[in-house]
Amino acid sequence: MSNKDRYHRQTLFQGIGEKGQRRLLTKHVLIIGCGALGSSVAEMLARAGIGKLTIIDRDYVEWSNLQRQHLFTESDVEQQIPKAIAASNKLREINSGIDIQPVVVDATADNLATYIQAADLVIDATDNFDTRFIMNDLVQKYNKTWIFGACVGSSGMAFTIIPNQTPCLDCLLKVTPMFGATCDAVGVIGPAVQMVVTHQVTEALKLLSGVESKIMSKLLIFDLWNNHYQTVDVSRAKRDDCASCGKKPTYPCLSYQNRTKTEALCGRDTVQIRGKQYPLAQLADKLRLLGKVQVNPFLVSVEIQEKRVVFFHDGRTFVHGTNSIEAAKKIYYQIVG
């Protein structure tokens, strides 16, 4: 089947047309996070014919993800497949004509810089503000547009951040209260996810097909359950003294001392430790002496001391079953020495 047939309904839409579709096929989008937002954004963009998608995510598929995270299946859970890999496998079946690059790493200031520089557009699909602040500094530093999105419960928000034109995320936080709760604490419904995704993908299609004049300049905020929907003019929130987007930026979140090395993952009863890389096959042999082991090409996990410990190929470790960093470190060092 030709591209003309595949994208026929989209090219009939006057806002995109054949010229816009040709542009989409040449564009590269970086999606940071592949959970509820990221998996749905990736699917929509793949179906729309974005030429290349790079998907970065540090996690693997779990049972609680299936309620709202598109592209994942029970088989992915049973095999503990990393989300970026599982999503990419499905996306290649949806559209074999585009380039899809999965990256299973924790998004940090060091590894994100290269990916952001290579992309035409960055889409925020993360679940924490530490990563968002790193993204915020990097996109300002490298002059890349990014589309912020977040949701919790039945509420969500989205905003397109354009360097040198709009307020950045740090500016927004000074004037707009962000969600204090998390999905792990109060839950989330699928329609709220899809509302944010719809806005993010629509804005992406406008930007990538060359109709920047249609970009929504206001912050979108909604609560579907309570029938609340509004747009807020935040143009005056941009600050000349902002450390990320002001006249003399210092990009504070890119400095080493401001980075998180060990962290309790919000609401997940899990601690992440960034440590030494170990060959997974050798590690699996060692772990079998300690408990039940599961291994795939991307990670190895073991049940020990009523905790589940998961080692990733990039040197990260999840210790499930505790929010105590000290307790997690103790278990970690008991295993690796």
Tell which residue, 36, 42, 33, has the closest CA to residue 204. 42
State the pLDDT at residue 90. 96
Top pLDDT among 195 and 277 is at 195
10 Å Cβ neighbour count for 254? 19
Task: Return the CATH class of domain 3-254.
Answer: alpha beta
Judged against a pLDDT cut of 70, whether residue 177 lies above it is answered with no
Determine the Cα–Cα distance for residues 301 and 318; give it in Å rounded to an integer: 9
As a whole number, mean pLDDT of residues 250-278 equals 75
Integer Cα distance of 187 and 316 in angstroms:
26
Calculated CA dihedral for residues 26, 30, 35, 39, nearest 10 degrees = 0
Return the domain boundaries, the chain: 3-254, 261-336
CA–CA gap between residue 213 and residue 195 (Å, rounded):
22
pLDDT for residue 109: 87
Distance of CA 210 to the CA centre of its chain: 24
pTM of the predicted protein model: 0.82
> Is the separation of the CB atoms in 168 and 244 below 8 Å?
yes
181 has pLDDT over 90 = no
The CA–CA distances, whole Å, from 273 to 49, 269, 325 equal 37, 14, 9
pLDDT in tens, 204-220: 999 999 998 999 999 99
Q: pLDDT tens-digit profile of 69-91?
A: 889 999 999 999 999 999 999 99
Which residue type is seen at 138? Answer: L
So what's the architecture of 261-336 in CATH? 2-Layer Sandwich (3.30)
pLDDT band of residue 336 (cuts 50, 70, 90) is confident
With cut-offs at 50, 70 and 90, classify the pLDDT of residue 96: very high
- Averaged confidence pLDDT in the chain: 89
